[in-house]
Amino acid sequence: MQDPSPTTSAPGQQPPRRPRAAINVDIDGLYLYDRIHGHAGASGNTADFSAASHDATVWTKGVTRFLDLFARTGIQATFFVVAQDLENPEVQAVLRDLVAAGHEIGSHSLTHPYDLSRRPAAEIVNELTSARAKLQDATGQAVTGFRAPGYVLSTPLRLAIADAGHAWDSSRFPCPAYQAAKLSAITLYHLLGRPSGSVAETPDIWLGPRTPYVDRLPDGRALLEMPIGVIPRIRWPLIGTSLIMAGLPGWLALRPLTRTMDWFNFELHGIDLTDHEADGIPDRLKTQPDQWIALRRKWPLLVRVCEDLRQSHDIRTLGQWAESEI
């Protein structure tokens, strides 16, 4: 579906700027969902975990379908990659396809520790610099952006993002509904005796800015922050999980509220385009709510969302927006 013609302007005037949008995918392996949901002894929670041989289903099934989705809808996206996953040859092959298709690669850290924001400053810097170096070597791209594990930042992590050479971040998620649900899940898993690896965000973030802004670091440096999408005023989450659970009727209900949003940063996950049954995903991960939704329902929904966004918004990669904003 092609973009509509721009609004007509008077001679000598620039046409009005279309609302901004970005579409991006966090590629979190199945082992990271085991850590979120406290599945002790499963994939990512074992002492002998190997990044080289981890289950690459999210990459080989989910990410390859996102490649097809974006090729069909004419979208260039940003994919946030956990750098240690590149030790797996199957992951390397899919990454080459992403780069060949012209998509942007961002850093999602080296090993995706959910408590990265709480670790010693030197360890944080090493996590980010090592990840950026590996991703740049593998892709030939300058990796200019970062997204934090679990979206959680701290002052040492913000400084480390800049120290590692990144110009922008896209971790802030100013969504009270999501943050409250996350805190509740962490508490519940603790009470059940299967603690989650996730870390709760501080309440001051829940109602933070929802459009891009310059984050002035304590040492005076500037880092561009591009928050994840929420609907203005009501702060309802506009991410893959929430839209998949709402389905096409939910999207059609929300669509009028999104048409004129001046910033729509649509965040998805690689697992969003997997099919629990057909792709052989372990049943323990049905604790992930969208795993109850079949691919035959998710695919047409995300096609529709992407096509609708192309009609109403100027879609660019996060890196492209950063270049125009800085």
Domains of the chain (ranges; CATH) run 20-325 (3.20.20.370)
Q: What does the pLDDT look like over 257-288, one tens digit per residue?
A: 999 899 999 999 999 999 999 999 999 999 88
Give 191's contacts (C-beta < 8 A, 6+ positions apart). Answer: none
Residue 211's SS3 state is coil
Give residue 35's pLDDT.
87
Average pLDDT, the chain: 91
Res. 8: pLDDT tops 80? no
Res. 2: pLDDT tops 60? no
The answer to which of 146-160, 166-180, 218-232, 293-307 has the lowest mean pLDDT is 166-180
Residue 314's SS3 state is strand
Give residue 15's pLDDT.
59
The answer to which of 140-149, 165-174, 202-211 has the lowest mean pLDDT is 202-211
Instruction: Tell me the C-alpha distance between 29 and 271, whole Å.
Output: 8
Report the predicted TM-score, pTM, of the whole model to 2 decimal places: 0.92
Instruction: Tell me the C-alpha distance between 166 and 168, whole Å.
Output: 6
Res. 325: pLDDT tops 80? no
pLDDT band at 44 (very low <50, low <70, confident <90, very high): low
Give residue 117's pLDDT.
94
The answer to which of 79-88, 113-122, 191-200 has the lowest mean pLDDT is 191-200
Give residue 6's pLDDT.
40
Q: What does the pLDDT look like over 124-160, one tens digit per residue?
A: 999 999 999 999 999 999 999 999 999 999 999 999 9
Give residue 184's pLDDT.
85
pLDDT band at 180 (very low <50, low <70, confident <90, very high): confident
Res. 5: pLDDT tops 60? no
Mean pLDDT of 63-82: 98
Give residue 3's pLDDT.
38
∠ CA 136-140-142, rounded to 5°: 55
Give residue 4's pLDDT.
38
The dihedral sign for the CA sequence 206, 208, 209, 214? negative
Mean pLDDT of 247-258: 96
Instruction: Tell me the C-alpha distance between 189 and 193, whole Å.
Output: 6
